[in-house]
Structure 1
Amino acid sequence: MQQPLWDSFGRLVEPLASARPWMVTLGNHEIEMFPIIYPQGFKAYNARWLMPYQESNSQSNLYYSFDVAGAHVLVLGSYTDFDADSDQYSWLLADLATVDRSKTPWIFELIHAPWYNTNATHKGEGESMRIAMENILYEARVYVIFAGHVHAYERFTRVYNNKADQCGPVHITIGVGGNRGGLAMTFDSPSRSISMYREPSFGHGRLRVLNNTHAHWSWHRNNETNSVIADEIWLA
């Protein structure tokens, strides 16, 4: 179960995680399995990262929502059931029905496995979840869907059902915080027309909600002497 690693990571991030809201979503590395005795589960994750799932009427710590700075943020679980018969699917419909766009005009979503990806790494791993849930988020007019998993940066245009669509969300993969396996270097060539910017570099992102109608996303490359905004987009 690698519990000592969980504890050492917790001590490492505690100075920041104890002073700022630290909202997380499960990824593939949070899956714990011990054959026969203990099938797939998330005991360590649930014990150490208690999110406001009860406050958002979710039955599971693996998916929840919260409001902040004029935005409603959905945090969905890529590695728990998400089909039309699942609790997560039912919760998502109910949660979106409560959104008051006069108070939270922005809706953002966080997942782990990206639904759109032109990198050779982890290609297609988010496809079944996209098929199950993309229409719900399209109808709700979600603005941006943020993903990780692929250790490279990629931003798509507004997209729905694999085509550019001005009513669809922008998809952004930002799995570039750093990992011991290195970067995912290989992208499809030529690039798909819906992929606006992609780069295999470590970095971090910043999302600023300025008002009810304008927000700004920027991605900052880390391996520069000075701070560099490598990619940015205004959302309106």
Structure 2
Amino acid sequence: MGKAPLDPSVEHYIQPASIDVTRAVAKEMHSGKVDTIFHIGDISYATWFLVEWGFFLHLIKPLASQVSYMTGPPLETPRVSRSLYVTLDSGGECGIAYESYLPMPAAGKDKPWYSIEQGSVHFIVMSAEHPWSEKSEQYNWMEMDLSLVDRSRTPWVILIG
């Protein structure tokens, strides 16, 4: 899902398909078969403008207000340009808005990996934007998290990233 205003005359770069995707997800959600939505990466496509985050948040409100709406970090979250110049893209600063608007039960600041349990499923959300090779901080966290899973109570483990 991306961002799109219902009135495209107010936006310089829109993604009209995002409205269709959101409607399709809402239709599926209203069937009563959806408990959680995992939106992993590519969050909002807000190209450095807060108003575009507003478009995105307005678009997902019917979904996120009804079921758990869990996210994984957007691409380039850790990179921050700190540039004073307007660019065509966020320059990596989307992570600032992402962490502010969509707080998740993350391991810590700039550690956007986490796990949750829903019924008999243990979900692990990892970050593909942070090191996850053996001995990395994320790998060590994942190893610890997996060791705490009670497989008799939660036999299913799903890794998302």
Distance 1:19 1:31 in 2: 30
Distance 2:57 2:83 in 1: 29
**8 A Cα contact 2:125 2:160, kept in partner:** yes
2:100 to 47, 55, 58: 47
Say yes or no: does 1:96 pair with 2:149.
Answer: no
Q: CA RMSD in A?
A: 2.6
Q: Render the CA deviation track for 1:92-122: whole Å, top value 9, x for unaligned.
A: 11100100000100000111xxxxxxxxxxx
Give the structure with the higher percent strand: 1
Distance 2:98 2:119 in 1: 27
TM-fit CA distance, 1:62:
1.2
Distance 1:35 1:81 in 2: 22
Q: Which residue of 1 aligns with 2:49?
A: 2
Say yes or no: does 1:16 pair with 2:69.
Answer: no
Give the structure with the higher percent helix: 2
**8 A Cα contact 2:76 2:129, kept in partner:** no
Distance 2:49 2:80 in 1: 11
1:59 to 108, 128, 131: 108
Q: Which residue of 1 aligns with 2:74?
A: 27
TM-fit CA distance, 1:33:
3.7
2:124 to 68, 71, 74: 74
Structure 2's unaligned 5+ residue stretches are 1-47, 85-90
Q: List structure 1 segments (4+ residues) > 6 angstroms apart after TM superposition.
A: none
**For residues 5 and 63 of structure 1, do their structure 2 counterparts lie closer, same or farther at Cα, with a shift above 3 Å needed?**
same
Distance 2:68 2:105 in 1: 11
Aligned-residue sequence identity (percent) comes to 27
Distance 1:70 1:28 in 2: 30
**For residues 6 and 25 of structure 1, do their structure 2 counterparts lie closer, same or farther at Cα, with a shift above 3 Å needed?**
same
TM-fit CA distance, 1:40:
4.6
Higher relative contact order (CA closer than 8 Å, sequence separation 6+): 2
**For residues 5 and 28 of structure 1, do their structure 2 counterparts lie closer, same or farther at Cα, with a shift above 3 Å needed?**
same
2:156 to 103, 106, 119: 106
**For residues 59 and 29 of structure 1, do their structure 2 counterparts lie closer, same or farther at Cα, with a shift above 3 Å needed?**
closer
TM-score, scaled relative to structure 1: 0.40
TM-score, scaled relative to structure 2: 0.57
